[in-house]
Amino acid sequence: MIHRRRKSASDAEGVSSARVYSIQSISVKGDTMKTNFKFLYFLLILVLVVSWQEASAQAKKLPNIVILATGGTIAGAAATGTQSGYTSGAVTIDAMLTAVPGIKEIANVKGEQISNVGSQDMTFEIMMKVARRINELAKKSDVDGVVVTHGTDTMEETAYFLNLTVKTDKPVVLVGSMRPSTAVSADGPLNIYNAVAVAGDPNAKGRGVLVVMNDWIHAAHSLTKTSTTAIQTFMSPLRGLVGVSAYGKNDFYNNPTWKHTTSSEFDITNVTKLPRVDIIFACADMSPDLIDACVANGAKGIVIAGVGNGNMNKASVDAAARAVKKGVVVVRSSRVATGMVDRNVEINDDELGFVASDELNPQKSRILLTLALLKDRPAAEIQTMFRSY
């Protein structure tokens, strides 16, 4: 009995402790589930926060690039995709950017319209506006680089002007296209993509103003337009390329050695008007009175696009010497596509007071001479500039 009672007591105890146990077990399970649920919830929030932080860090890592648009064929439009006639400077920067797939993945891009002209109508006024805007933008910590869209006809002139007047080592890249935006196989979108990739690349810093066209990266000092219609128009014949850019992957292998940007002494901050400098194209049986006409019309400088090594006929040398005597600075450059113009080769520069253009072609010689003439300087000082810029 006792045993049974005990047994039953113990049974009863067993039943009740089992019940207690199972009640406890339910409540423990419930607590564990609650804890697990809380933990999962916490984990989910953590994952969301981390991935949001990662996404915004990713977004922050993209370089901030400002595109200043000036016009040109890159902003040109034609009635059909295959006609050769078109109007340059017809499309806005915002419309141009929508035609560049993937651009948002390589940079945070903002566009500003400075002008919308074919670059045959580029003026010093617009160039100075661009230079000043770049100088403003470059001071901002949230701007990593600037791209300037431009017509190709005078791109080398604006690029070189900016090379001498912008005061930053942040990348400044000019870009254009040979085909209008409406053309079959328009080259503008990929050129813009590559230009933005170069402008956002820390390796592009400190190399002076660059031009990116058709996968090639040129220094402003060296490039020149060589074909009226081919998309591979820009060449850097004397110095070669600064690098290449293929679908936004850049490879730099040259560093321009001339003075530029931060090492340039030219400051256009308060300049409203630039001195007149003309270019005279030399040829066989050239008329010397063109040189006299430049002087009579107020030129402060004359660049001769000479034959060969900056030569001109005897009558023109005499006219140029007359100009020098009247205080005009005469620079001898060359109409030949490549090669240097050296002092005292066939013309006695020392005796006649001329300046030799060294590596600069006539159109870039004009830019340097124009800026040099912002101050009264002797020809010897200007000659030194032609060797260092």
Task: Please tell me the count of residues contacting ligand ASP according to CB under 6 A.
Answer: 11
Interaction between residue 72 and ligand ASP (CB under 6 A): yes
Interaction between residue 119 and ligand ASP (CB under 6 A): yes
Interface segment toward ligand ASP; rule CB under 6 A; list 114-122, 266-274, 291-299, 307-315: 114-122
Which residue in the list 70, 73, 165, 261 is annotated as catalytic?
73
Interface segment toward ligand ASP; rule CB under 6 A; list 37-45, 146-154, 192-200, 324-332: 146-154
CB of 249 to ligand ASP, least distance (A): 25
CB of 130 to ligand ASP, least distance (A): 14
Beta-bridged to residue 153, according to DSSP, are none
Complex with ligand ASP: residue 151 or 306, whichever CB lies closer: 151
- The amino acid at residue 193 is Y
| Candidate residues 135, 149, 152, 182; the one interacting with ligand ASP per rule CB under 6 A | 152
**Residue whose C-beta lies closest to ligand ASP:** 151
Interaction between residue 188 and ligand ASP (CB under 6 A): no
Q: Name the token pair of 49.
A: 């926060």
Rounded to 5°, angle at Cα 161 from 235 and 333: 60
CB of 102 to ligand ASP, least distance (A): 24
Interaction between residue 53 and ligand ASP (CB under 6 A): no
Residue 212 DSSP SS3: strand
In the sheet where 64-69 sits, what is the strand order? 108-113, 64-69, 145-149, 172-175, 210-213, 216-219, 243-246, 249-252
CB proximity list for 330: less than 8 A, separation 6 or greater: 301, 302, 303, 304, 320, 323, 324, 353, 354, 355
DSSP secondary structure string for all residues of 319-369: HHHHHHHTT-EEEEEESSSS--B-TTSSS-HHHHT-EE-BT--HHHHHHHH
Interaction between residue 181 and ligand ASP (CB under 6 A): no
| Candidate residues 66, 68, 69, 73; the one interacting with ligand ASP per rule CB under 6 A | 73
Interaction between residue 365 and ligand ASP (CB under 6 A): no
Q: CB 221: neighbour CB atoms within 10 A?
A: 26
User: Do residues 76 and 88 lie in contact, with contact meaning Cβ atoms separated by under 8 Å?
Assistant: yes
- Whether 73 is catalytic: yes
**Which residues are catalytic, by number?**
73
Which residue ranges make up the site for ligand ASP (CB under 6 A)?
72-73, 88, 118-120, 151-153, 176, 178
